[in-house]
């Protein structure tokens, strides 16, 4: 549903912008935007988060786990935009401190102790409320009337406010522990639409963790797993003045 909405929004705004520029191709909105050194704004968006995983090859023989599947879940984010022009309007340094809400599910399939069932299924939900601090370089094309495209890349530091890093485990009801802090690479692309009084953007990005986020505490949930890297797809609407 989220992906369909994203595509509908993209093609709607591209169609509207194309129609306006064709009707009056000499009109450029918000011409002073590129003359400003610093811009501020805000960002709203949705995300889907999951893990990039590595499991132990002997998890069936040693832990009775037949399979672990990784299921992404929807979330959302909001942030503040600071954008600094570097030498040229086409290159900018962007800092977007954000608050994001994320959830992932690890689905465990294990051998059953019940002779009437071959397998048992257990979903482990892992939620996070993150403060994200991305520092990104944005390289934009020259304006075509009121439209421009761009690519973006950099890194971000993330702090999980919902962390259970120091929580005590229960033997009968364990949970997956993740480190509070994470460092992630981020890359993406987007389009800008110059309106009369502000700039509107559509942006799609991918984040991937640099380090193993899993705290290996030898529970029945964590033992079969070697590595969990945080991975997030972001779709954002940006508004800058």
Residues 14/209, Cβ–Cβ less than 8 Å: no
Rounded-to-integer distance, Cα 95 and Cα 135, Å: 5
Give the per-residue pLDDT at 106.
93
pLDDT in tens, 187-202: 999 999 988 888 899 9
Give the per-residue pLDDT at 19.
44
Structural domain of residue 206, as residue ranges? 2-240
Give the per-residue pLDDT at 12.
45
Give the residue among 77, 32, 91 at the shortest CA–CA distance from 237.
77
Number of domains in the chain: 1
Residue 128 CB coordination number (10 Å): 23
Q: What helix, strand, coil percent values describe the chain, rounded to 5? A: 15, 60, 30
> What are the angstrom distances between the C-alpha of 2 and each of 8, 129, 205?
10, 20, 15
Which residues are bridge partners to 114 per DSSP? none
Give the per-residue pLDDT at 2.
47
User: What is 86-115 written as a DSSP string?
Assistant: ESEEEEEEEE--EEEEEEEEEEEEEE-SST
Helix, strand or coil for residue 21? helix
Helix, strand or coil for residue 200? strand
- The conformation of residue 35, written as its DSSP 8-state character, comes to G
pLDDT tens for the chain, 241 residues long, are 445 444 444 544 454 444 444 444 557 787 777 888 898 999 999 999 999 999 988 888 888 888 889 999 999 999 999 999 998 888 999 999 999 999 999 999 887 777 777 788 889 999 999 999 999 999 999 888 888 999 999 999 999 999 888 888 877 788 889 999 999 999 999 999 988 888 899 999 999 999 999 999 888 888 899 999 999 999 999 998 8
Q: What is the CATH number of the domain that holds 193?
A: 2.40.160.20
88, with CB counted inside 10 A (0-12, 13-18, 19+), is exposed
Give the per-residue pLDDT at 26.
53
């Amino acid at each position: 549903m989220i992906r369909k909405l994203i595509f509908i929004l993209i093609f709607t705004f591209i169609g509207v912008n194309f129609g306006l520029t064709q009707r009056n191709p000499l009109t450029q909105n918000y011409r002073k935007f590129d003359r400003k050194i610093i811009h501020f704004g805000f960002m709203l968006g949705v995300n889907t988060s999951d893990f990039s995983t590595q499991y132990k090859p002997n998890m069936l023989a040693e832990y009775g786990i037949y399979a672990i599947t990784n299921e992404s879940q929807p979330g959302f984010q909001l942030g503040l935009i600071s954008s600094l022009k570097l030498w040229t309007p086409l290159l900018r340094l962007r800092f977007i401190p954000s608050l994001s809400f994320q959830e992932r599910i690890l689905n465990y399939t294990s051998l059953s102790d019940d002779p009437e069932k071959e397998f048992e299924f257990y979903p482990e939900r892992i939620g996070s409320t993150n403060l994200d601090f991305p520092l990104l370089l944005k390289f934009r094309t020259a304006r075509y009337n009121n439209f421009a495209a761009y690519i973006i890349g950099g890194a971000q530091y993330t702090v999980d406010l919902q962390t259970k890093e120091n929580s005590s485990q229960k033997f009968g009801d364990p949970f997956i522990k993740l480190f509070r802090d994470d460092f992630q690479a981020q890359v993406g692309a987007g389009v800008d639409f110059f309106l009369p009084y502000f700039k509107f953007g559509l942006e799609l990005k991918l984040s991937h963790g640099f380090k193993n986020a899993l705290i290996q505490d030898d529970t029945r949930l964590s033992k079969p797993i070697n590595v969990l890297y945080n991975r997030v797809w972001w779709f954002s609407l940006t508004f800058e003045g």
